[in-house]
Amino acid sequence: MAFVEVRDIVLHVHRSGDPRGPLVVFANSLGTDARIWDAVVARLPDRYGVLCYDKRGHGLSDAPPGPCAIADHADDLVGVLDHFGAHRVALVGLSIGGMIAQAIAARHPDRIAALVLCDTAARIGTAETWNARIAAVESQGLPAIADSVLQRWFTRVYRETEAACLRGWHNMLVRQPVTGYAASCAAIRDADLRDQAAGITAPTLCLVGDQDLSTPPDLVRDTAALIPGARFEVIARSGHLPCIEQPEDLAALVTRHFADAGYR
């Protein structure tokens, strides 16, 4: 565990794996921290180095006041990569993390050797839905929306059979800073990356859980269609967070994509 100051913001980062191996970077979803990747990272081949981090407003990273944009999140992560001298990486982004990944891949094509966009899209939701969520958390806190969020994150089977885990993920969500959560909601609300997605040149794999209610399969498929040469895969028995529900399947798909892209 380490902390890196980027653009006057302190970000929590975690390095693991082979420090000399090709680096895989994971960007997590709204309302979560880097721990959601633990089960996937544990299943990656030992030859890879791994970098996970908490984006601004989440986990142990700073939560500066005021709104932010996907471009701010992207610049933060590029700053982290610069700090570690990581000039070319494989990037895996989930939900808002996938929007961050799209922005980086479009703006810095030379730095992305392979791209995985997981349960994400070039545009997610509407201004009305995001404004309603921002208003709810700012007036009532994250517990007010937690149950409905967990219903979109996880399948009914997971919710009914993994009660202790569900409670733990609920704790993770409600303990995120309200300011950081609301700012990232605004970033998603204001983002339309369809033009940027069409310019992505990195080998790209788009993945989605078959029961994802936040970014349904058709939405992710539409984004895959924008990216030249992108592949699209559905992960069975999973909601919005296959890294938690189906980490073995996700790790296998990611590893195969890296190999196909020559990133090994």
Helices and strands, counts by H and E, the chain? 12, 8
Task: Read off the pLDDT band of 161 (50, 70, 90).
Answer: very high
Q: Which of 93, 121, 146 is nearest to 214 (CA)?
A: 121
Over range 168-176, report the average pLDDT.
98
* Percent of the chain scoring above 90 in pLDDT: 98
Q: Tell me if 91 sits within 8 A of 104, measured CB to CB.
A: yes
Give the bridge partners for 7, in sequence order.
Answer: none
What pLDDT score was predicted for residue 66? 82
Q: What is the C-alpha to C-alpha distance for residues 238 and 236, in angstroms, rounded to an integer?
A: 6
Global confidence as pTM: 0.98
Local structure of 141: helix, strand or coil: coil
Domains observed in the chain: 2-260 (3.40.50.1820)
Give the bridge partners for 113, in sequence order.
Answer: none
CA distances from 173 to 58, 60, 147, 203, 219 (A): 9, 13, 10, 32, 24
Tokens of 145: 């929306």
Give the bridge partners for 232, in sequence order.
Answer: 206
Q: What is the C-alpha to C-alpha distance for residues 18 and 22, in angstroms, rounded to an integer?
A: 8
Q: Which amino acid is at 171?
A: N
Task: Read off the pLDDT band of 68 (50, 70, 90).
Answer: very high
Is residue 252's pLDDT more than 90?
A: yes
What pLDDT score was predicted for residue 1? 72
What pLDDT score was predicted for residue 67? 87
What spatial distance separates the first Cα and last Cα of the chain, rounded to whole Å? 25
Over range 73-99, report the average pLDDT.
98
Q: What is the C-alpha to C-alpha distance for residues 141 and 262, in angstroms, rounded to an integer?
A: 45
Cα angle 209, 210, 211 (rounded to 5 degrees) comes to 90
Q: Tell me if 23 sits within 8 A of 15, measured CB to CB.
A: no
Q: What is the C-alpha to C-alpha distance for residues 189 and 192, in angstroms, rounded to an integer?
A: 8
The predicted-structure confidence for 106-160, as pLDDT tens digits, reads as follows 999 999 999 999 999 999 999 999 999 999 999 999 999 999 999 999 999 999 9
Q: Which of 51, 67, 68 is nearest to 4 (CA)?
A: 51
Q: Tell me if 12 sits within 8 A of 25, measured CB to CB.
A: no
Question: Which is it for the CA torsion 58, 108, 214, 134, positive or negative?
Answer: positive
